[in-house]
Structure 1
Amino acid sequence: MSEHEDKAKGAMNKAAGAAKDAIGDATGDKDLQNEGKAQKLKGHGQDIKGEAKGALKDKG
């Protein structure tokens, strides 16, 4: 996967995770809220992975 693909997937996971977190909070659904938090973390990890690929590409 390329740098841009990782960053795009990261952004989608962070957005979807934030929505799940907010809906879970609003409805009192702790499982959905926790799922959202986990998905946001996954997205953050994908962003970091994309940044690392970009940094390595720039140095290569």
Structure 2
Amino acid sequence: MDKNRIEGTKHEIKGGVKEAAGKVTGNHARELSGNLEKNAGKVQKEFGKANDQARKQQDR
């Protein structure tokens, strides 16, 4: 498993928590920051998936 998948998942979860905390407290900056981190984590996770698929193709 590519390390980007693991790191992306961590960022996705951390960003979701920040976003929820920002919504609850009314802190729009924290909410936005969390949303950005969550989406960046999703992109990083997809990049890791693509790397895994490329490795599988290369091994064939």
> Scaled by the length of structure 1, what TM-score is found?
0.92
The residue that corresponds to 1:51 in the other structure is 49
Matches of 1:15 and 1:43 in 2, distance apart? 8
Q: Highest Rg: 1 or 2?
A: 2
The residue that corresponds to 2:29 in the other structure is 31
Query: In the alignment, is residue 18 of structure 1 matched against residue 35 of structure 2?
Result: no
User: What number of residue pairs does the alignment pair up?
Assistant: 58
Question: What runs of 5+ residues in structure 1 fail to find an aligned partner?
Answer: none
Poorly superposed stretches of 4+, deviation over 2 Å? none
Question: What runs of 5+ residues in structure 2 fail to find an aligned partner?
Answer: none
> Scaled by the length of structure 2, what TM-score is found?
0.92
Matches of 1:12 and 1:48 in 2, distance apart? 13
CA-atom RMSD in angstroms: 1.0
| Structure 1 position 33, deviation (Å) | 0.2
